[in-house]
Structure 1
Amino acid sequence: MGRKKDPRSKENIIQAAFILFLEKGYRDVTIKNITDATGLSKGAVYHHFTSKEEIYMATLEVFYFDLVNQEAEQMITGNFVNDIENVYHFAAEVFARIENLTKTGLDFPIRNYFSFQLESETHSEVRARIRESVVTYRKLAEGIVRKAQENGQISTDWDPESIALQVLGMVEGIAINHSTVKGDIKNVLLSKYKQVFTTYFKMIGAT
């Protein structure tokens, strides 16, 4: 009978590997790095994963795809301004979580997180899945904009897809432009939200 897998060990491997991928990049991380970081034996790591690539895929699942799905769930209040604020706050919380995970040795965790995502471009299946998730997320945002226009929450008659792309681009753009901030990234991002979106909401007549 095979040894029962401890979910806590698997979670520890995923979190430790994620930090290592942020610090060193996928190519330079070894299984030994992961065993050293977790305190587990090589056999224990291979008990949960068959390869470094499989570990990387698991970190993408937890720290990208699951987060995208959770972020999409924030856009359900029926109020356009509240939905966008919820999405932005959720993103700020995610970046704060990443910052806290890597406090011991990574100067710019957010910048490295974007690099972590880009490394997935070398995997055709993952690349296709990311593209699909981006399209789905954009369509969700577009639907919210269209509904807000129908309900009179947005007065401009701009194309819903254009507004959705602008909003999502601003959310990501603010994060990218502040990816080299050291310390308390959450409060930095939240302060920029009011500065940028208050003006934008006025421009599109959002209430």
Structure 2
Amino acid sequence: MKQEEKTLLSKKAIAQTAMALFMQKGYDATTMQEIVHKSGRSKGAIYHHFSSKQEILNFQISLEMDNLRQCLDDLISNNQLNAQQKFKGILTYFFENLSLAELTRLHWAEKIPFAFLETLKNSLTVVAQYIEAIIQQEIKEKKLNCQYSKELSEILVLLFDIWLDPAIVDFDYQTACQRIDFIALLLAKFDLPLLDENDKNKLKNGLKHYDEKNTL
């Protein structure tokens, strides 16, 4: 294994330990010394890679964004998929990603509040662009007519990232289902029937993972 690969694995392991502590105690209450102790590594080994817990968090956010970009790049470049299939692929990434589901269950937005703003900015600048690319593909192929592809893409990001995220907005399962129905209706109004009944049911079932009693 190359040194670069070893370094990346080491940084990932440290970040994983730190994130577990952030979720357990909260970002502000977690110290670098606790991260050192929990990781089982020497203080020098930790500080060799990160000078602060902020750097660790930034690394983790960057890592997640790299994974997301790779997934979305693969989706957009796949000419065998139509717009609906690509949109489903994006939703699948977010709603079937076990690590993201666990962060939501642990109410990460409350534990690391300032990271929420950074995540939202990334979504508006990255995810929205990919959604717009999907819509533009359909427009170019004259399969739909949408004059507000950029604005609609950004609104969808806000709806899914905030309005439909139980880690940010407190609502029950019935409300979650109604919101999914509304998003599907909104898409249809813009001549973008990207969510059929099966898709809606899949999303609704996915939200059940956040609470065994179906109470978000």
Q: TM-score, normalised by structure 1?
A: 0.66
Note if 1:176 corresponds to 2:179: no
User: Are the equivalent residues in 1 in contact too, given 2:22–2:30 (CA < 8 A)?
Assistant: yes
Task: Kindly state the Cα deviation for residue 71 of structure 1 after the two structures are TM-superposed.
Answer: 4.7
1:20 maps to 21
Secondary structure of the residue aligned to 1:27 is coil
How far apart, in 1, do the equivalents of 2:108 and 2:100 lie? 10
> Aligned partners of 1:115 and 1:71: how far apart in 2?
27
Amino acid aligned to 2:33: K
Residue matched to 2:133: 143
Instruction: Tell whether the 8 Å contact from 1:154 to 1:205 is kept in structure 2 after alignment.
Output: yes
Q: Say whether residues 1:80 and 2:66 are aligned partners.
A: no
The structure-2 alpha-carbon separation of the partners of 1:152 and 1:51, relative to structure 1 and needing over 3 Å to count, comes to: same
Unaligned runs of at least 5 residues, structure 1: 122-126, 182-188
Per-residue CA deviations over 1:114-155 (Å, capped at 9, x if unaligned) read: 75363476xxxxx6x974773344333323312212323334
Contact 2:128/2:154 (<8 A) preserved: yes
TM-score with structure 2 setting the length = 0.64
Residue 185 of structure 1 is matched in structure 2 by none
Please tell me the residue identity of whatever aligns with 2:185: T
Q: What is the percentage of aligned positions where both structures have the same residue? A: 18
Aligned-pair CA distance for 1:14: 0.9
Question: What is the RMSD computed on CA atoms of the aligned residues?
Answer: 3.8
Answer whether contact 2:109 2:116 (CA < 8 A) is retained: no
Q: Output the CA distance in 1 between the equivalents of 2:130 and 2:7.
A: 37
What is the distance in 1 between the residues matched to 2:178 and 2:91?
10
TM-aligned CA distance change 1:134 to 1:68, over 3 Å: farther
Tell me, which stretches of 5 or more residues in structure 2 are unaligned? 171-175, 194-216
Cα gap change, 1:176 to 1:132, in 2 (>3 Å): closer
Provide the C-alpha distance between the structure 1 equivalents of 2:181 and 2:105, rounded to a whole number of angstroms. 23
Aligned to 2:152: 163
- 2:206 maps to 1:203: no
CA distance in 1: counterparts of 2:142 and 2:132, whole angstroms: 15
Change (3 A) 1:12 1:115: same
Secondary structure at the aligned position of 1:26 is classed as coil
- Could you tell me whether the CA contact under 8 Å between 1:22 and 1:113 is conserved in 2? no
User: In the superposition, relative to structure 1, how do residues 41 and 67 fare at CA in structure 2: closer, same or farther (>3 Å)?
Assistant: same
CA–CA distance in structure 2, aligned partners of residues 136 and 196 of structure 1: 24
Please say if 1:70 is aligned against 2:70. Answer: yes
Distance change (3 Å), C-alpha of 1:196 and 1:66: farther
Report the CA distance between 1:9 and its aligned residue.
3.1
Pairing partner for 1:108 from 105, 112, 132: 105
1:29 aligns with 2:30: yes
